Structure 1
Amino acid sequence: MCSALGNLVELAIKPEQTSGVTLAELPLESIASDAFLADRACAANRLIDRLTERGIISAIPRKRNRTTRQETDFSFYRERNLIERFFNKIKQFRPIAIHYDKLKSTFLAVIQFALIIILLK
């Protein structure tokens, strides 16, 4: 998760068979925010329902195969490019982009090291 300025707020590595929706639901309780931006992969009803219960604005475009359509504020959704830029900064480090490490703990340590270098720049 990234803040509105594109800085890292929460970092988690998901297991291979876990969907992004279940991972996106975890830090919602600990982070106080006014809006939640995500791509179509997170367009699950349970996530959107939790966001509306907490009073958080969701800018998640619906999948095209949905029967019920909901309007998405695409001018607000364009701010998601900050997250994409953040991932591009991280992927400039070759061990992260190629994913050399086999252990989850080692890969997380490499990501944390890259984040320290990014923040020091």
Structure 2
Amino acid sequence: MTPVIHSHPSRKHSPPLDRTRYRVECFIHDLKRFRSAATRYDNTATSYLAVLHVASMLLWLR
């Protein structure tokens, strides 16, 4: 996966920014703040998916 990083505003020639991929990267970064989602302490895939859904809803509501 190629990282998508905002270039510094003072840079003369900034590379093009894919805003969709940048938003996904920011979302994944915010999602990793939830410890149970980042460390995968859940035993089953369904409970892990439930944690991801709850964390996504909390991020969406803020």
Q: TM-score, normalised by structure 2?
A: 0.67
Amino acid of the structure 1 residue aligned with 2:39: I
Q: Which structure has more helix as a fraction of its residues?
A: 2
Is structure 2 residue 16 aligned with structure 1 residue 75? yes
Of structures 1 and 2, the one scoring higher in RCO (CA 8 A, sep 6+) is: 2
RMSD: 1.6
Unaligned runs of 5+ in 2: 3-14
Following TM superposition, by how much is the alpha carbon of 1:98 offset from its aligned partner in structure 2, in angstroms? 0.7
Amino acid of the structure 2 residue aligned with 1:94: R
Runs of 4+ off more than 3 Å: none
**In the aligned structure 2, how far is the partner of 1:107 from the partner of 1:98?**
10
Aligned length: 49
Q: Which structure has more strand as a fraction of its residues?
A: 1
Unaligned runs of 5+ in 1: 1-38, 41-73
**In the aligned structure 1, how far is the partner of 2:51 from the partner of 2:31?**
10
Identity %: 29
Following TM superposition, by how much is the alpha carbon of 1:99 offset from its aligned partner in structure 2, in angstroms? 0.6
Is structure 2 residue 52 aligned with structure 1 residue 108? no
